[in-house]
Structure 1
């Protein structure tokens, strides 16, 4: 929106080089400063949020009035101010109001130009420019607000996902521990009553309590392990955040594949994605990183392939500890890992793990 300030060149040049009295020059400069202040207030404050109708109405009325007065008082060089008025209408007014507001501003500009004895060709060119720029700004306004809503929606989805995962863990722990702790309490009370008269039976109850406690501990560990399991969806979100923070263009799929391997296979691919993105950020000096998933049909059955490529310095040196450990992790689930230079520039990592079933496709 600040690019439209280029149209100030004509009125500023007119103020500096046209012979007028000191009072007229000062008034023109003050009027121009007030006009620009109204313009900047409107477009930078209200383009991305719902406007205050009273404040917008006052600012717009003052802006339009200044454009008319300055153009009539100082001549055709000041007609370019109406471009700012059209930009303000397109950037701030709702679409249904902008649809008639922009042509209305253009009509006022044409009448003002005729009243200031401006060349018809100049008035016609500015009329076309006012309409085009004004309606272009309605699209920019919609794009800005849509982008803001998208960011808010992503933040909400992330928060809901985190809350859902917390609820899942809470449900799991409640179901696991509720039964076990109730049983421990009952057996403890029973052992306490039996202890004076039947110590052997009480000892058996204590042994049962120990067994239930051990099983509860195993169940809790399994629940927490599942809660902390690496997933492709989580690693994709983390990779996008890390690459963006590092200033690397991230070409990633919007979501994980619809068909995934078993938990161990998905965890292996998630670790592969994490290690590959970490290497891109730390060592590659890349400007772009691409992540893709593909189903490969092989004689051994369908496999899901993760491919990560960058356009950095590449390399064909010996594998480090990270890649060696990653290859072992992928091999443990029956997959394979390939890594090496990608063409003349860049580095490529491909990990493939077996799919338990037939793939049905991926989200576009």
Structure 2
């Protein structure tokens, strides 16, 4: 059976918040660091300024121009990141960067051609795709034209400067497209969540109306009728009051059944909670794809019992196991009596079962829940003797379609031994 592995850390999974404005001081520091670290490529031009034989005028021109270039570069990147900028401002700053790159490279030497690569990169970052696809080649062409005046590098400057400028620029265009797509996906997921919550509210409103509308109307009508009968027809009024009691009791039963259905845990919901809990604890989660699909033929009580089993087992893994990995599997199994069971297995690589034969309240309650659903619980060491294994079995509902779990039936393995 194939499995899908996801891994997270207990810290923020994206402290840099790529493509998003920072919201904390730590994120600001991270963004500044990851933007400034690339300035190490200015080591060549800076070294040229301090090389013996460099005139004072060249040092002033180079130092002033480089400082202005860095300030303009950071101003454009961070203004684009935080609040967005107009195209006129973008083209104004890009024109300044391209001018500085041209003048400094032409005047001070070929090592300054690296400025064109930064100009190409920032063009891919701040410009829309329709503009960036032309701006990046223009910057590269200007770089090649300026670099052609240095005979000592004509043999390799195309590969040392030209291709990196073109490639880096278009790479950032692709990154920006990915960021934009991610933002759209995030917005779509939030919209789906809002629609789902709204649909749930509408369903609750419909159910309450269907459950209580008729009953409350009938109670109101009979109450008015009994009030009119009381002075002259006490026996008839008593009959109406008895009807009121019967209708109200039935309404109470209906409400309780509805609330029980709303509160019943579901595997899909518990799986999402399990992923979040394991991710927060820094435990690698390996989840069987069969858990993502529906389980036709599984009774509501059976699904609820498996959901409780998943919740309890993951809670124990997070709190007590000290595990680094957790595996959640789902399989359909045949028993010796030809009954089909759905088996939920949770394995970890932690400390294993306790040496003292004693179960906590959680596992005891889980056994009772599974027994009410005609299922059972098995616990013991994980395969290989390292870690803990929990297996929860519930039967399929009578008459359920074959293969309801979407998995191949397998023979039931030997039961796990309870922790001893």
Output the TM-score relative to the length of structure 1: 0.87
Q: CA deviation at 1:332?
A: 2.5
How far, CA to CA, are the matches of 1:279 and 1:156 in structure 2? 34
Structure 2 residue aligned with 1:210: 245
The answer to whether 1:191 aligns with 2:226 is: yes
Which deviations, in whole Å up to 9, do the C-alpha atoms of 1:182-219 show, x marking residues without a partner?
00110011001101100111111112112212221221
Structure 1 residue aligned with 2:293: 257
Q: CA deviation at 1:298?
A: 4.3
Distance 1:333 1:92, change over 3 A: same
Pairwise CA RMSD: 2.8
Distance 1:191 1:351, change over 3 A: same
Between Structure 1 and Structure 2, which shows a larger proportion of helix residues?
1
The structure 2 residue matched to 1:327, chosen from 361, 367, 380, is: 367
The answer to whether 1:32 aligns with 2:69 is: no
Structure 2 residue aligned with 1:304: 342
How far, CA to CA, are the matches of 2:142 and 2:331 in structure 1? 59
Q: CA deviation at 1:127?
A: 1.3
How far, CA to CA, are the matches of 2:136 and 2:74 in structure 1? 18
Q: How many residues align?
A: 363
The structure 2 residue matched to 1:348, chosen from 358, 377, 389, is: 389
Structure 2 residue aligned with 1:284: 321
Query: Which stretches in structure 1 are left out of the alignment for 5+ residues?
Result: none
SS for the counterpart of 1:339 is: strand
Structure 1 residue aligned with 2:146: 112
Distance 1:104 1:181, change over 3 A: same
Q: CA deviation at 1:24?
A: 4.2
How far, CA to CA, are the matches of 1:361 and 1:306 in structure 2? 11
Distance 1:284 1:206, change over 3 A: same
CA contact (8 A) 2:48 2:54 kept: no
How far, CA to CA, are the matches of 1:144 and 1:87 in structure 2? 15
CA contact (8 A) 1:309 1:346 kept: yes
The answer to whether 1:359 aligns with 2:403 is: yes
SS for the counterpart of 2:292 is: coil
CA contact (8 A) 1:292 1:307 kept: yes
Distance 1:62 1:76, change over 3 A: same
Distance 1:85 1:237, change over 3 A: same
Q: CA deviation at 1:145?
A: 2.5
How far, CA to CA, are the matches of 1:93 and 1:101 in structure 2? 8
How far, CA to CA, are the matches of 1:190 and 1:325 in structure 2? 49
CA contact (8 A) 2:58 2:108 kept: no
How far, CA to CA, are the matches of 2:386 and 2:74 in structure 1? 46
Structure 2 residue aligned with 1:145: 180
SS for the counterpart of 1:173 is: helix
Q: Which is bigger in relative contact order (C-alpha 8 A, separation at least 6)?
A: 2
Q: CA deviation at 1:27?
A: 4.1
How far, CA to CA, are the matches of 2:90 and 2:351 in structure 1? 53
Distance 1:258 1:31, change over 3 A: same
How far, CA to CA, are the matches of 1:47 and 1:362 in structure 2? 46
